[in-house]
Structure 1
Amino acid sequence: MTTSTHLYGQLFDQLRQHSRVCDLRHLKALAWMVSALLYSGELNLAAWEPYVVSRATKAQSTERRWQRFMDNFRISVMAIYVPLVLAALSGWKQQRLYLALDTTVLWDRFCMIHLSVVCCGRAVPLLWRVLEHSSATVAFEEYQPVLRRARWLLRHHPDVMLLADRGFANQQLVKWLRQSHWHYALRLPCDVLIHTTRRYPWMVGVLYPPLGEARLYENVGLWLDGEHRCNLVVATVQGAKESWAVVTDEPPTLQTLWQYAFRFRVEELFLDSKSGAFELEDSRLRSAATLERLYLVAAIALLFATTQGMAVQLAGLRQQVDPHWRRGISYLKIGLRWLQGVIYKGRTLLPCVPLLPNDPEACFASLKAKHDYDDHIWFHRVRSVVCKPVSILN
């Protein structure tokens, strides 16, 4: 058995085990596409032919097979992927789940709404939706279905926190999070009105402290009416381009900033999808529905390679693919390098493991990167303020 068919067999077995309601023909085609993507590194239908074993003698026939999959409206992306990612999160019920919500734009024409799980220094796709929308800013009604589906899927996880940037901070989202009993850490734009100890509201940008200082506000009111009460942390971090203003439902501490910083893991996921690992923007597909199915191939590949990298770490084989003395690359890159070695160096394809809730070894590319991380967020002055609602006189 060749290494490509070995990888295909493991992928197909995993898909068949978890995605039982799907047509086996669809799962076979999907397993071949994921296998070809892992070996080629290109999200391009025409680039997968050398890595697929089939009876087709013409490259065009193979490409048409993938195109039929992408155009098939009967294929449910979530019915295939969700069981896989939930199985990978099977050991997380006693751990807090950090969900990062963000958007990315493709070719200034399509907007992908992305909800991912923060895991071991990176983010793993959970749910996504593609809209024909040229801006990265979308209305609450567009990403609410993604959040509602996630709430149902994660109903057995008692501790979930949503992380989102300034474009998502609105009254509808905060109300929905409270009704869903999810924790949150949301960054506010500088022009949002905040009710503190003053009689009248201030724009949050006025509250930004000097460099190296942080202020912790408890029980502030949001927006013009001030009805939404929460906690606020504003800080000006050394080396940051802008000051941060993060609202949370939990007690305001410096831990709030550390939690919100997990959101940047999804930026690295976008980088891996677009250029770091796979070339998402090199695909020739220009339809929202087909792009959702194309990203299904990428999401499974990202999940499989990440778990393969974790299996390499647990087996004590990391230094065979990572030149650093301590872990210096992500588990995704470790997994991809290991899989490349499976086909070119005869390495053993390791059994899949669930996503690790706790990182056994932090990732730093150098000692300087570790020192920069350790000293990245520090303050020489921290001030706490308790706000009480103030009635406005007519």
Structure 2
Amino acid sequence: MDATTLGSRFTVLAISVLIRGCAVPVAWKVVTANKPGAWKPYWLELFDHLKHSVPPEMTVIVTADRGLYAEWLYHKIVELGWHPFLRINLGGQFRLLDSNDWIALTDTVPFVGSHWCGIVQCFKTNPLTCTLLARWDEGYTDPWLILTDFLPQTASTTWYGMRSWIECGFKDTKRGGLHWHFTKITNPKRAERHWLAIALATFWLVGVGSEADATPPNSNYDDLPPDHIARTQPPAKKPTRFLSCFRRGFIQIIVALLLGQPLPIGSFFPESWRSPTAFSSA
């Protein structure tokens, strides 16, 4: 879940499904930008619309950046049977459940390369009993502090990295793809209907690109001559995605149109979960 703006005209509150580096909008609310008022009722309404859309046996993780954290949001996600994965700001304190001493949140990961997790009571004001995951990797200005209801040994802070895919999704709706930023619409209700078209188009494009990304053509490496330059290069440690699934789907559909071929339908191929990494636990 995240919010995106269209200049000083609109703010879009969006909940998207994340897959293969992309985001497909599934629920949204468009409001006038810079208009006074709380977003809480809108977020609650969006979650209520989605609460019966996922089979109860499916594990659902809801990520949100630190600007959206709120205690009511954490409890709402848990109420739905889903798992909050909410980043929080560095200010504030926590205490271990068997201690009365309050510790600064920044003390969990005091230097780059450190990580920590444990079940805590977070914040002196409006305290919340939850699991705190903390990690500070090289190349990041600030550490990640995540609040969740997972047990410490069953969750990985690295899962939060997928949250940035919704930012890629917002780019796809604007300059990176569907050019929504050129719209002349000024009415939020009409903009919401426009977003329905955007969501359906994104669903199709990402589905086609996801299928192509997951089913690459067979390598002809063995057919290359012995002196081919490819044989002199060290093997890649892991595959690199040069095109997003959104862009790849767009290309696949355009090529089919140009060649007069049947339009591809597409399908979704989620990638494997990253296993929880080792933490030093409280």
Relative to 1, partners in 2 of residues 1:110 and 1:200: Cα closer, same or farther, differing over 3 Å?
farther
Q: For the residues of structure 1 that align with 2:48 and 2:143, how far apart are their CA atoms?
A: 31
CA contact (8 A) 1:318 1:334 kept: no
Relative to 1, partners in 2 of residues 1:219 and 1:301: Cα closer, same or farther, differing over 3 Å?
same
Q: Deviations over 1:83-118 (max 9, x none)?
A: xxxxxxxxxxxxxxxxxx111111123210110111
CA contact (8 A) 1:190 1:204 kept: yes
Q: For the residues of structure 2 that align with 1:347 and 1:313, how far apart are their CA atoms?
A: 20
- Stretches of 4+ aligned residues off by more than 6 angstroms: none
Hey, what does 1:204 align to over in structure 2?
105
Deviation of 1:119 after TM superposition, in Å, equals 1.2
Runs of 5+ in structure 2 lacking a partner?
220-238
Q: Which has the larger radius of gyration?
A: 1
Hey, what does 1:274 align to over in structure 2?
174
| Greater helix proportion | 1
What does 1:73-112 correspond to in 2, within 5 Å? 101-112=1-12
Hey, what does 2:281 align to over in structure 1?
384
Aligned residue pairs, count: 258
Q: Which one of the candidate residues 245, 250, 253 is aligned to 1:336?
A: 250
The TM-score with structure 2 as length reference comes to 0.81
Q: Cα RMSD over matched residues? A: 2.9
Q: For the residues of structure 1 that align with 2:43 and 2:134, how far apart are their CA atoms?
A: 27
The TM-score with structure 1 as length reference comes to 0.59
Q: For the residues of structure 1 that align with 2:39 and 2:108, how far apart are their CA atoms?
A: 27
Q: Which one of the candidate residues 23, 31, 37 is aligned to 1:131?
A: 31
Deviation of 1:173 after TM superposition, in Å, equals 1.2
Q: For the residues of structure 2 that align with 1:345 and 1:150, how far apart are their CA atoms?
A: 39
Q: Deviations over 1:13-39 (max 9, x none)?
A: xxxxxxxxxxxxxxxxxxxxxxxxxxx
Deviation of 1:344 after TM superposition, in Å, equals 2.8
Q: Which one of the candidate residues 148, 161, 169 is aligned to 2:69?
A: 169
Q: Which one of the candidate residues 3, 14, 20 is aligned to 1:114?
A: 14
Q: For the residues of structure 2 that align with 1:314 and 1:201, how far apart are their CA atoms?
A: 48
Q: Which one of the candidate residues 117, 120, 139 is aligned to 1:239?
A: 139
Runs of 5+ in structure 1 lacking a partner?
1-100, 320-324, 360-377, 386-394
Relative to 1, partners in 2 of residues 1:184 and 1:226: Cα closer, same or farther, differing over 3 Å?
same
User: Equivalent pairs: percent with the same residue?
Assistant: 21
Matched residue SS, 2:260: coil
Q: For the residues of structure 1 that align with 2:214 and 2:66, how far apart are their CA atoms?
A: 38
Q: Deviations over 1:324-376 (max 9, x none)?
A: x96521221111011221233434422x24322347xxxxxxxxxxxxxxxxx
Q: For the residues of structure 2 that align with 1:315 and 1:220, how far apart are their CA atoms?
A: 44
CA contact (8 A) 2:214 2:269 kept: no
Hey, what does 1:298 align to over in structure 2?
198
Relative to 1, partners in 2 of residues 1:105 and 1:332: Cα closer, same or farther, differing over 3 Å?
same
